[in-house]
A and B are shown apart, each in its own frame.
Chain A
């Protein structure tokens, strides 16, 4: 309930607002700071990695600043993971309230399901899995939460990422950027500032706000289901091994005493199940280091060590059982429970 009052949430909010403020000041100063599509000083610019890729696809040539930016973001992702999403991106916060509401609805739902009888859901699931397998043939293993505990789980975001690249190749301009809520948020900030500074009125402000609202409020969970930028960052963060969340099994109520605590699972905005990574919607590649799981844990069992202790590594490195069908069904059920 008061998860949005936690210390890290406030810190993250401050970090995001600081970036927003620097950009907003830059809009009216002559420094050429830019925005998240390309940020830096004078002729040094770190481009949005997705935008950089799209611009190069559109022109079918390598653009030096774009290549450097993609590599720089890759390095950041390897060291820090998908931090951009929860510490810098304003959209993460915009879609926050909606997500929290859904958590509660979902939690209530699962509780109810449990009471009425668990047989209902798994039976359903089994049937659909088969249907899915025939329908999607080769893809079924990837489109599903396939029980992977390492690497990146491919989901709808990655499909949209592929479409963003493909459409740019066909049409010759970065199509996704027209509707990207990250870019549109900064564009809206600029237009609102110009509205007050110069009295410049335009329908564009209303259109942009409506578009952002449609994407982050009307669509079910923009960040988890749609954002191709998040998808690209998760792919790049697949190589991240440092500062990953680590569950101390001795402290954790569920692991050590078998209590039915899943606070950390429900707190995670990225759909990670720290109890059983394979059962989550995503893997640790999607961890945005928001620390929601650590903050919510009553036993302080979640830490972010520089490198995960050996034991945890071994536990995560045993994906074999998850490949069994039973576990897969269980995994899907649990993965959606947040």
Chain B
């Protein structure tokens, strides 16, 4: 076609070629969006740790407009941005970053979880009958972000260094030292607040276990 050869001036070559071009661009753009939507749904997305109220992933994906407000207001700095590596659908949605902070469910804030409060689109919304963890009363609550897992090979206590940082950090009595002084998680009492992961010194102090790629205690999503 004549106008195809005359790029880029021909982008707006006079005449109705413009019309067809407009239609083509619109159709291509529309097709692109549909393909993107289907693609994003097909490509598997990692299950991530979410702030309180973000446990229903479908609602979070549908409503989150990526305004970053929840991340900004968290008094504990426990919310981090999500990356492409976590799946296309998760891109720019909020997820917990327990290396940076942990979630105390805003126990000391008068009006409840700040992240839920600022979310303008109700992407973070507490279900009816939600009971939040309370670090003062040790109430575990029924909003569970994930569950802690100990990697015994990487744990300093396992190698006789007498570490119990995580046990001390847990406000919900979900951790105790086992028979060999290595911490054991009580999954019934762990609400995934991340205090243990935040406190774990296995990657920063003492003799770091060979091959350790993460802290010895991390919170993982509920399967």
A binding-site residues for B, Cβ under 8 Å: 26-27, 29-35, 37-40, 42-43, 45, 47-48, 51-52, 54-55, 58-59, 63, 65-66, 69, 102, 105-106, 108-110, 113, 121-122, 124-126, 128-129, 131-132, 135-136, 139-140, 143-145, 155-160, 162-164, 166-168, 170-179, 183, 186-187, 190-191, 194, 198, 202-204, 207, 220-221, 225-226, 329, 332-333, 335-338
Contacts and interface: CB of A to CB of B under 8 A. Distances in A.
B58 A172 contact: yes
A35 B66 CA distance: 8
Interface stretch (B115-123, B158-166, B167-175, B215-223): B115-123
B56 to A, nearest CB: 11
B14 A337 contact: yes
B44 interface: no
B172 to A, nearest CB: 25
Contacts of B8: 102, 105, 220
Contacts, number: 243
Given A156-B26, A226-B25, A183 B92 contact: yes
Given A66-B121, A329-B15, 12 more contacts: A26-B72, A37-B66, A38-B69, A43-B120, A51-B65, A124-B15, A126-B15, A162-B30, A163-B34, A173-B89, A174-B65, A202-B83
Interface residues of B, number: 63
A280 to B, nearest CB: 12
Nearest to B35: A167
B37 interface: yes
Contacts of B117: 43
Contacts of A186: 68
B19 interface: yes
B75 A32 contact: no
B23 A156 contact: yes
Contacts of B27: 159
A336 B18 contact: yes
A121 B15 contact: yes
B15 A194 contact: no
Nearest to B12: A336
A34 B40 contact: no
A336 B22 CA distance: 12
B29 to A, nearest CB: 4
8 contacts: A30-B73, A143-B23, A160-B26, A166-B30, A170-B37, A220-B11, A329-B15, A332-B19
Contacts of B127: none
Given A122-B15, A132-B19, A171 B38 contact: yes
B18 A34 contact: no
